[in-house]
Amino acid sequence: MKKIEKESLLKSFLLFFVSQALLVGGLLYLEYIKELKNFDDELFNKMRVCSFDLKCEDLKIDFVPKENYELYKIYKEKEYVGAYFSILGSDKNSLKIYTQMSTYKSKAAKIKQDTFFSFLLVLVAVGVLSLLFSLYALSPFRNALRLTEEFIKDILHDFNTPLSTLRLNSSMLKSELGENSKINRIENSVATILSLQSNLRAYLDNHSSQKESFDLQECIKSRVSLIEKNFETLSFELNIPKTSLSTNKDAFIRVVDNLISNAAKYNKQGGKVIVSFENDVFSIQDTGKGIKNPKRIFERFYKEQDRGIGIGLHIVQKLCEELKIDISVQSEVNRGTLFRLNLKNII
């Protein structure tokens, strides 16, 4: 299940579960108040019967002087719960029938405990129903998402034929006409589409469950050696010790390729790209043009240069989220850019 599907399932479950739990909790609370009142009424009725025959099980009897107590009404004092009744032929005394507060509280606690257990049982049932409801509600969304992904994959596959034709014909034109700015623009556009195709394929794949162990130093050396061939005026500096990573290698390479190639593309003549790893942080620093709005750099379709379509770094961020890599960026115009990847979760 993809991250967006898990998020949708969790939100649907919580929405249904919390709303039903609050409703059930409110109803059971009212039921608890009702049961407590019934218990008080039952206790008072026992006291009333006791006032006639004085056969009082679990109750105590006392004769007290008449005070400002209202007769035939239950009172809950600090140490007892009781009621006062009139005595036939007596104007000075009243009959007090009561039980200890501790006894009353223990029986009231039993009612509360029974209500709480009922709430837990209903809560379990609500949880199961919430999960079933969430899965049912998620089903159309998952089907739509699957169809969309299949459609995109089909389109990406169909890109191969026209792109191969474009690359072949541009190579033939270059061999016939020599270096030409228009042909170079065609080749750059084809390279951009190929990069976008690779990014989209990486974005559509599920990487969270596809892990393997590999050496960071060897991986970066091989990627930089491929990229630096296209940027002969730049110098690449690597400061990476041997470190073992456990994650999806293809997705990690896609992230690294994007960041290092961007550091090279938007660098200045004779500039430098520094790739290093220290204290669980993998960093890529360049001496290039810099970024005017670093906070927006991961937004989809945001770009500050004419090249590209502004989706590469957005996909990089999404891949980092899947791989549990924290990514951050610092940049200053005309000074350069620094990307940091915290790899502590995959070491």
Domain residue limits, the chain: 3-136, 211-342
Q: What is the pLDDT of residue 272?
A: 92
If you count them, how many residues does the chain have?
347
Q: What is the pLDDT of residue 216?
A: 92
* Strand locations in the chain (E): 60-65, 74-76, 80-86, 93-100, 212-215, 235-239, 244-247, 272-278, 281-286, 326-332, 336-342
Q: What is the pLDDT of residue 343?
A: 92
Fold of 211-342: Heat Shock Protein 90 (3.30.565)
Q: What is the pLDDT of residue 205?
A: 63
Condensed to tens digits (0 to 9), the pLDDT of residues 52-98 reads 888 887 889 988 888 777 888 888 888 899 999 888 877 788 889 89
Q: What is the pLDDT of residue 71?
A: 87
Q: What is the pLDDT of residue 203?
A: 63
34 vs 28: CA distance, rounded Å: 9
Alpha-carbon separation of residue 315 from 124, 199, 216, 300, 309 (angstroms): 40, 7, 21, 8, 12
Q: 85, 97 in Cβ contact below 8 A?
A: yes
Positions of the chain with pLDDT lower than 50, given as ranges: none
* Predicted TM-score of the model (pTM): 0.53
Q: What is the pLDDT of residue 36?
A: 92
Q: 217, 240 in Cβ contact below 8 A?
A: yes
